[in-house]
Amino acid sequence: MYKPLILIVLLLGSSFAVLDVSSIGTDEEEQFEIEEEKPRQLAINYIPFKEVVTIWIDRVGYEGIDNIKKSYSLLSKDPKDFQIPDSLEAKILNETRIATIVYTNTEECAPGVIDATCIMINIRYGEVEGDGLKEKKKVAREIGNSVIDDINQALGTHVKYHSTVIDTAGGSSTEGPIINVVYTMYHLPAKMLFNIMILENIREEIRNAGGFFNSAKALSLDENSVFIFSMSPEKNRILYSLHISVTSWDTEIPINNFSPLDLFHEDKLNRSGLFAGGFYPMNSIVNVIVFSEEELQVLKANSSIIGSASNADELQKNGWYFISSTSEPSNGINKLDLRYLFGKTNSVDRQQLLLSIIPIVEDVTSNNAAEETNQGGGCLIATAAFGSEMAPQVQFLRELRDNTVLQTESGASFMTGFNQFYYSFSPYIADYERENPAFKETVKIALTPLLTSLTLLQYTDIDSESEMLGYGIGIILLNIGMYFIAPAVLVMKIRKLV
């Protein structure tokens, strides 16, 4: 059970990295470099406190059963948010061999530990002096002992040395083996540990601001909840993470019509009040992770797609930002990772988080195409080329159709005729894209001029039928020129040279 603790800490670190706005060009120097005629981006405010809700659905190897982990996490790189003394932070940072410090009531936090609360000081095996295993364990324990009294005082704990364990799997493929120096005390439920943190460590402003803090407190009341507080040293600071989670086994949930809040039995999720007085788009996240033997895709979502986290104006939208689908060839496990940001909003409800996640199927039948046509359509070719209906390019095509073309009678008539023609052949092209990666890349390149030309419609005001006809015919002629006339002229010139 103790190995997943390292994975949880790494997951929290990756969530914080996604939320980190330090790489986004919104500081004063970059703002002064923006040309005057361009609209100025809305400045992103920054505080080090973050909040994350995570849904982890594992359906690998379990026929009809899901292993579900739901959690709330409070994170910060400011020791004052968790009332950690500067002296303790300095001591941990100065001891560069420490990888992480984990305080938890997880069952069997280490081999031989039963029904106890643990503090584990995890030390990088390769950085510990000593010729043999026995000597390395001795040095590791000395490192742990050098900080454990300060940790006890800061967290109000009374742990004593239990054992030193070698974790050969390590925290990650890059760090290698880890030596876990384990300290234990009597077992306390998550509810009590969280309440102790509230009284002793969590800053009053965070407590009073509510948000995910209130949700975490409610989840800690579950008798199966697990408490984890971790300290992960970086170069010049420490990432502090408080994590309340519940793991359960349940019948396979219908992710084809799924909202993360369903698993918490909540209709609404509020952000911390700390973010109400400014623009903090990157300080709250809803993270959905699905592991499956099938390759999955998001068919549709009830919220916007955020195309770029480097554009502050784009981040004003509330919606899904980080969307990836990866496959591990060695074990055939597919991972779908979705992350929702709040933008300028202070809450999100069940309907806004609604997702439709389906397997990627190899055959698209004519019946599917007909159904798409009746429902307003989906761009099968672009979806297959860019991998998901939630890809920014596909979302752009859909928004252009719904918000521009279909707003006029002539545009609606055009789409009716176009759909009849398009769906007569697009399922077969989409099929072949999935079967042939080279063809898929070719189609992606071929679509680029079309997408570029259609962006011109974003800069026009279409208020009448005549304007729709004029701009529409202009775009059609432009694409005929790019796809047919220009290549024909080029071929003729080449033939003359030959």
Q: Per residue in 59-91, pLDDT tens?
A: 887 777 889 999 999 999 999 999 999 999 999
Tell me, what's the pLDDT at 313? 77
Coil, strand or helix at 254: coil
Give the integer Cα–Cα distance in Å for 368 and 364. Answer: 6
Give the integer Cα–Cα distance in Å for 161 and 146. Answer: 12
Between 366 and 128, residue with greater pLDDT: 128
The 3-state secondary structure of 211-226 reads CHHHHHHHHCCCCCCE
What are the backbone angles phi and psi of residue 100, rounded to the nearest 5°? Answer: -150, 160
Tell me, what's the pLDDT at 487? 84
Is it the case that residue 286 has pLDDT exceeding 50? yes
In one-letter notation, the amino acid at residue 373 is T
Coil, strand or helix at 75: strand
Is it the case that residue 177 has pLDDT exceeding 80? yes
Is it the case that residue 376 has pLDDT exceeding 70? no
Q: Is-contact 357 258, C-beta < 8 A?
A: yes
Is it the case that residue 15 has pLDDT exceeding 60? no
The whole-chain average pLDDT of the chain stands at: 82
Coil, strand or helix at 126: helix
Is it the case that residue 141 has pLDDT exceeding 90? yes
Tell me, what's the pLDDT at 12? 53
**Sign of the dihedral defined by the CA atoms of residues 127, 129, 134, 138, in that order:** negative
Is it the case that residue 24 has pLDDT exceeding 50? no
* pLDDT-above-90 percentage for the chain: 41
Give the integer Cα–Cα distance in Å for 346 and 274. Answer: 10
pLDDT band at 340; cut points 50, 70, 90: very high
The first and second tokens of residue 265, run together, are 């039995």
Q: Which residues contact 102 (CB under 8 A, 6 or more apart)?
A: 5, 6, 9, 109, 118, 119, 120, 122, 228, 229, 230
User: Please, what is the end-to-end C-alpha distance for the chain in angstroms?
Assistant: 71
Q: Which residues contact 250 (CB under 8 A, 6 or more apart)?
A: 65, 66, 68
pLDDT band at 26; cut points 50, 70, 90: very low
Mean pLDDT across the stretch 379-392? 76
**pLDDT tens digits, residue range 484-496?**
888 888 888 888 8
Strands 319-328 and 304-305: parallel
Tell me, what's the pLDDT at 389? 67
DSSP structure class, residue 258: B
Candidates 210, 341, 211, 316; CA nearest to 269 is: 211
Give the integer Cα–Cα distance in Å for 373 and 368. Answer: 9
How far CA 159 is from CA of 8, 93, 118, 164, 211, in Å, comes to 22, 22, 7, 14, 31
Q: The tokens 């679509």 sit on which residue? A: 447
pLDDT band at 13; cut points 50, 70, 90: low
Is it the case that residue 481 has pLDDT exceeding 80? yes
The first and second tokens of residue 316, run together, are 């004003």
Report the alpha-carbon angle 225-227-230, nearest 5.
Answer: 155
